Chains A and B, each alone.
With several copies, the nearest count.
Chain A
Amino acid sequence: MAWDRNQMAARAAKELRDGYYVNLGIGIPTLVANNIPEGMEVTLQSENGMLGIGPFPYDDEVDPDLINAGKQTISELASSSYFGSEQSFAMIRGGHIDLTVLGAMEVSQDGDIANWMIPGKMVKGMGGAMDLVAGVKKIIVVMEHNSKSGDPKFIPECLLPLTGKNVVDMIVTDLAVFQRPDHQSPFRLIELAPGVSAEEVAQKTTARYES
């Protein structure tokens, strides 16, 4: 039985470590915040200029001056800090963020990622995605194993315009987890969703990986 969205987020959350500073993308990655292990201190960064993202505010606490990178209203924590966008990306580009979890449309077997231009739709821009994949220490992609039309998304080479070249460290799909120890090594299948076989994964994947 394949993992659902929350289970995928929970699997990605297993990569968190105490004291980590983390940036979470929009969509499934946001759910990682709900899966931080009890007692573990993880600080979430918002690239519009905040460290220490709190939960959504109560209705009477909503503050238009307090939003996340998805432009949603949020709250602050006692340990939060605010800074400008230049400082926020100095942190990201400078390798100070330990981990980012991002969605993707395609990931190649060499760790390229494409997640900013949707084919046939108007280009809205890359936002902070290119900065994140270029700067953060560890890049985890969380995505469905196959597109709605059934096409593999972990593929030999990305067909869509890239967000980053040779940057992805780990891929969590609804079927399996792939990882590589460094950017020179191939990905290896390290885990299967319950009831999913290695053969099924092989069948639904066109990327080359070790198993």
Chain B
Amino acid sequence: MKKTFPDAAAALEGLLFDGMTICAGGFGLCGIPERLIDAIRDSGVKGLTVVSNNAGIDNEGLGKLLRTRQIAKMISSYVGENKEFERQYLAGELQVEFCPQGTLAERCRAGGAGIPGFYTKTGVGTQVAEGKEEKVFDGETYILERGIRADLSIIKGWKADEAGNLVFRKTARNFNQPMATAGKVCVAEVEEIVPIGSLDPDGIHLPSIYVKRMIVGAPYEKKIEFRTVRTREAA
């Protein structure tokens, strides 16, 4: 069962349809599935609900799908740094469901783990709690949050072996892990596909069962949102 596809369009074939829900990995522009986003843009699929911590920036990441108006709704925790997003949102052309970052991560993990709902203290007494069921455990109030399942997950990894075992690199892991589990199908793009046996079985971040299709997306020109440095003191 070959999981490796020649390119993003091939890997997404048969998986896209109007009005579908997509879970996308990444935090800001770090660890985002760029090639798959490009292919989704090129496919012209529309009316998408996209579950992603951020919405990219203008013309980067999911910003590309906003620009083409393919996204109808975002479920996110933070959507700053994006003018086109702001315009569509203020014009009422784009629906946005704000979800606390940790609740969002847990909702996707829960969806992928067969848990349709869980209780959390996050958001109690705030707008986030409006319309949600409350329950008291040991004298403390919690709200019920729902697991999220998507039609498709798109993620970005560092290396995968040919079986689909995947590892991430540094903080590019972020939401890729929970998002991968929430989709009926997960498609991954990675920087390198290595032969089976090259990765340490104890060091796999995402076991092969979650990765149904994959492509090598390299070379990547990784974008930095805020480049902050210190200077070396003169010797």
Contacts and interface: CB of A to CB of B under 8 A. Distances in A.
Direct contact of A and B (CB under 8 A): yes
Interface of A: 18-19, 21, 41, 43, 45-52, 55-59, 62-68, 70-74, 76, 78-97, 112, 122-131, 134-135, 161-166
A61 to B, nearest CB: 8
A122 B90 contact: yes
Contact of B105 (A41, A46, A70, A85): A85
B126 A79 contact: no
A90 B231 contact: no
Interface string B72-98: 000011111000001001100000001
B171 A50 contact: yes
A48 B122 contact: no
Nearest to B87: A122
A21 B164 CA distance: 12
Given A78-B197, A91-B209, A165-B124, 5 more contacts: A49-B171, A49-B174, A86-B106, A91-B113, A128-B77
A50 to B, nearest CB: 5
B30 interface: yes
Contacts of B171: 46, 48-50, 65-68, 82
B176 interface: yes
B100 interface: yes
A86 B180 CA distance: 12
B120 A71 contact: no
A76 B171 CA distance: 10
Interface of B: 1, 27-31, 53, 76-80, 86, 89-90, 98, 100-106, 108-109, 111-115, 120-128, 158, 161, 163, 165, 168-178, 181, 196-197, 201-202, 204-205, 207-210, 222-232
Contacts of A43: 163, 208-209
Contacts of B122: 93, 130-131, 134-135
A81 B170 CA distance: 8
Nearest to B80: A124
Contacts of A45: 209
A78 B196 contact: yes
B30 A131 contact: no
Contact of A58 (B89, B105, B229): B229
Nearest to A90: B113
Contact of A49 (B90, B163, B173, B223): B173
A198 B227 CA distance: 43
B228 A135 contact: no
A126 B78 contact: yes
A165 to B, nearest CB: 3
B202 to A, nearest CB: 5
Contacts of A84: 105, 168, 173-178, 205
A93 B165 contact: no
A83 B98 CA distance: 23
A59 B229 CA distance: 6
Contacts of B121: 93, 134-135
A51 B125 contact: no
Contact of B224 (A46, A55, A73, A81): A73
A126 B53 CA distance: 11
A185 B158 CA distance: 45
B121 to A, nearest CB: 4
Contacts of B86: 122
Contacts of B177: 84-87
Given A45-B209, A51-B207, A130-B128, A89 B102 contact: yes
B178 A86 contact: yes
5 contacts: A65-B30, A65-B171, A73-B224, A91-B113, A92-B102
B208 A19 contact: no
